[in-house]
Structure 1
Amino acid sequence: MANDPQVPWTDEQWARVNQVIQEEAKRARVAATFLPLYGPLDADADFVRRQDIYYPTPTAERNAADIAANNAQQAYRRAVEAEDDAGALAAEDRFLEAEASFRRETLGIDDRDTMRLATLQVIVPVRNAQMADPELASALALFRRAANVVARLEDAIVFRGLEPNPNRAAGGPFAPPGGLTGLPPIWRITGALAARGLWTARPGADWSIRIAGATVEERAHHLVGAISRAIGRLEQHGHFGPFAVVLGQELFAVAQTPERGSLVLPQDRIIPFLGGGPLLRSSTLSDPAGVVVALGGAPIELVVATDMNLQFLQVSADPVFLFRISEKIALRIRERAVVQLALA
């Protein structure tokens, strides 16, 4: 960022602070190491196009959608005549959904609808004495910690999504489901709406695999098979490698446990399946959980509208210099290309 005249730092000190923040973010991030990245966008951007990819709808489904659209039109007219605003809105939604289906006769992408960008931030107070230190030792420690928290928050949103926050006073109106265990309550999310993450994206029989086994050794054996089946299912749906596997704490420990009577680790058997993709651990995944993500063709990408940066806000009455470390992101799922793993 540009130097602020209220902040008594040299150009070299500003550069060092920004370098420390970027280095810490790079160390702490998990999702951004394997997902394709899109951005930056204009600084004042609040939305990004969804870009859902769709395919030709089978004839039988198009015919059913045509009937549903006609029924919705009739229901809309009846609701308008009855001055039923809620009924009219519901009928209009049904019509638009049906119309989208019966008009899909070719490959296409929905670049009209948009999704909201979430701003992740941590406020960092720095005292006068800390500001005056030529080495900025205390200030750099604070900025490192804040950058680490924002990076962990980013991963939590990518893997678990966002939902209404029951404690709006702490964290903002939306937060990852289940909160953020282990993170100090210094973060806040603004500008967001409810959104699904890789672990919470439309679960179903084809997109979820249970790992059997009563002991760690048994689970280690079944984990390898589960990931192999997950890759097979992704390829059956037209999604190809490289593949990324991200495991929560418990399943990652399983991947590091040799099967009974063997010295070979499950991870050594898993990595050759991935076609050059990574096997990673993230503590922001709910335990016990994991995901297998297809990366070929970029069906899923992380929109980084504004990368992690430092902003000076003001000098408080104390006096304390108030800074903000923030970024603006969204997870864009163009196609369902992720299989969820969990223990049976």
Structure 2
Amino acid sequence: MTQTVTVLGATGSIGRSTADLLAQHKDRFRAGAMVGGRDPVTLAKVARDLNASFAALADPAGGPALAEALSGSGIPNGAGEAAVLEAVTRDADIVVAAVSGAAGLKPTHAALRLGRTVALANKESLVCAGDAFMRDAKRYGATIWPMDSEHDALAQALHGRPLDDVRKLMITASGGPFRTWTRERIAAASPTEAAAHPTWSMGMKINIDSASLMNKGLELVEAHHLFGIEAERLDVVVHPQSVIHGMVYWIDGAVTAELALPDMRVPISHCLGLGDRLTIERGRPLDLVALGSLTFEAADEERFPCLRIARAALAEGRAAPTVMNAANEVAVAAFIAGRIGFYGIADLVERACTHFAPVYAKAPADVEEALAIDAHVRAWSAEALPAMRAAE
């Protein structure tokens, strides 16, 4: 049976990898709606190549360029928030949610409300509104398949076993480009250096989150909601080879791990196949003999304070993860723009978490409330930036 796949974030790294798999398995999948952010030319190419049923660009200003690029294709298209939500409502069996950042909340939640199977790569949905997302998934009969490599690995390793059998869940981190750098050298790092990820090819923002280890903090929050496990049984280990993606430590002392070379098509294919294995053309098999060894290190929360801040936000609960994510997005953008140094990211996030701790006493009740908190924190963070710059 052919399944229709809609891709939210079709022009990003995960979207491109998804498109590659859809093209490889045309006997199994049909392209539904393709949604992009600000790149009408790339979106049009993806839509044409896959003969998509619809194309939507989040940026309304790019609408005319998208229409021109799709001229003669017969593919209906639109731009702006309404067009993105229209894309979600079109027929689909699987919705790949791969929009980066808090911008992915609305369309991902709209897919949940329709009872879709959601392959979730937008970790911010669960970081910002995890309680509401998991509650609504159950309410509307939606199924969430974790698409991040770490959470897909944990799901495979757990294999449906009860959490009573689990001592802890461990996610791995490559360590990023600054793994061996001193704190002083990290403090002086440029955005280009921070974005030079050693093993994965991702977008600028995600690469910088990897450099700060904030991405691992976000993944801890995501794992808490996906698997319903408390913070005390979640941990991070640095594994530079990025071959082991997640491990389950069992109460009897055994450990189950999922191994694969760093290729996002592996977890994507597992989600698209709904647990079935799909052949991946040009995929590289894992050769342990050639690899020789796997190494592990403790995560250093002194050089990488964002991980410590994220752990604290997860432990605090309530709206702390929502606040943390909003401040981090503002801080990363400021770092890319040269307005703050690398450690300014952690400084701003920690200031925001401290400032808003007494303001929001409960977790967001729904996506609208999460987005309202997000907007409030972004505005405060933007106002705090000049003072931070002056203090450096």
- TM-score over 0.5 for the pair: no
RCO higher in 1 or 2 (8 Å CA, sep ≥ 6)? Answer: 1
Give the structure with higher Rg (CA): 1
TM-score (norm 2): 0.19
Question: Which structure's residues are more often strand, by fraction?
Answer: 1
TM-score (norm 1): 0.21
